[in-house]
A = this chain, B = another copy of it.
Amino acid sequence: MKTIKQLQEKKNTATLLIHCPDKKGILATVTEFLNQNFGNIIYLDQHVDRQEKIFYMRVEWELDNFAIPTDKIGEYFETLIATPLQMKWRLYSSNVTPRMALFVSKMPHCLFDILARYTAGEWDVEIPLIISNHKTLKPVADSFGIDFHYFPITKENKIEQETAELELLKKHKINFVVLARYMQILSADFVQNYPNKVINIHHSFLPAFAGAKPYHAAHKRGVKIIGATSHYVTSDLDAGPIIEQNVTRCSHVDTVQNLIRKGRDLEKIVLSQAVYKHLQRKLLVYNNRTVVFN
C-alpha cells in the first residue's frame, strides 16, 4: 500500500524506566541528575508499592541540550545513580524505532487492526515481517506490502520451525513479537529469547476461561459479560503479566457465534492498546504484574 502516514513532528528524547527498593530521595536524585545536566523533563510518572517497598518510575526528557552524549547516558546513569540505589533500569531513545514481528494464523481481525494503524502512522514502529502457520492471510500481508513467511507447525517439526523463526527474527533485528490470534503455543525456549517482549491476546477475561475455546466455556457458564486480555507471554500458558483488559455485555440471547463476533471487537482493540503502551515504553513488569504508566 502506498503510504498514507501523516508526518508527525519527530521527538528527540530519552526515556528511563526504573525500579528499585524504595527509600527517601530517589525521585529528587533522579530529577536533579537530569536537571543539572540540562535535560528538560517532559514526562514523569512514579509509583511506590508501599507494601513491597518498591519504587517505580518513568521519566522522559529532551536530548537537545542534554550535557551527556546520548551514547554515554547509560554508563553515566549506571555509575552515578543506578548502582548506589540498586536500580534496575532500561533506557530508550525516541530516535530508535522499535521493530516488531507479527505472528498470525487464520483470523484476520487483529492483523487488519494493527496494519491499519501502522499504515496510518498511528504508531512509531517498523513491521518488517509477518509469520504464520497458515497461508490464509498472505493476501492481507501482500496488500499492505509486508513480507509474509509461512512456517507450518506440526508436533514433529515444532522445534526446528521455531529455531528458523528465531533466526529470521534476529536477521531482521526484531525487538518484540505480537501474537495477533496466533493459534500455536510458543515453546518456553522461544519465549526465553524475548522475555516480556511477546504480547498475546487471549479471548477471555483472564484468569477466567484460560486455555482453548473460551467463548464456548463462557456461553456454557452463562456469564453476563465477556472480555479479552492482552498479556506478556511467559512459559506458563495464559498466566503472564496482564497489560490490558476490556469487557462487553452479553445475555441469554447470545449464541456462541455471537460471543465470538462481539469478542473480535474487544480482542483487536485490547491487543492494539497493549502494543501502543509497549511502544510508548509505558510498561514495566515486576513479580508477574505490570505497572502501566499514564
A229 to chain B minimum Cβ distance, whole angstroms, is 8
Beta-carbon contacts of A51-69 to B below 8 Å, as 1s and 0s?
A: 1000010000000000000
B139 in contact with A1 (CB, 8 Å): yes
Tell me, yes or no, whether A126 is within 8 Å of chain B by CB: no
Tell me, yes or no, whether A184 is within 8 Å of chain B by CB: no
Q: Given the complex, which residues of B lie within 8 Å of A42, measured CB to CB?
A: 50
A225 in contact with B208 (CB, 8 Å): no
Of the stretches A25-33, A83-91, A149-157, A158-166, the one at the interface is A25-33
State the oligomeric state as a number of copies: 4
Interface size on A, residues (CB 8 A): 73
Of the residues B35, B122, B208, contact of A205 by C-beta under 8 Å: B208
Q: Given the complex, which residues of B lie within 8 Å of A122, measured CB to CB?
A: 109, 261, 264
Tell me, yes or no, whether A102 is within 8 Å of chain B by CB: no
B252 in contact with A223 (CB, 8 Å): no
Tell me, yes or no, whether A124 is within 8 Å of chain B by CB: no
* Complex alpha-carbon distance, A222 and B230, angstroms: 12
A binding-site residues for B, Cβ under 8 Å = 1-4, 24-25, 27-28, 31-32, 35, 40-42, 44, 46-51, 56, 108-109, 112-113, 116-117, 119-120, 122, 136-137, 139-140, 142-144, 205-209, 221-225, 227, 241-247, 249, 251-253, 255, 261, 264-265, 269, 272-273, 288-292, 294
Q: For the A-B complex with A1-B140, A223-B242 known, give 12 more contacts whose Cβ atoms are closer than 8 Å.
A: A2-B139, A27-B28, A28-B31, A44-B46, A205-B205, A206-B223, A224-B245, A224-B292, A225-B246, A247-B247, A249-B249, A265-B273
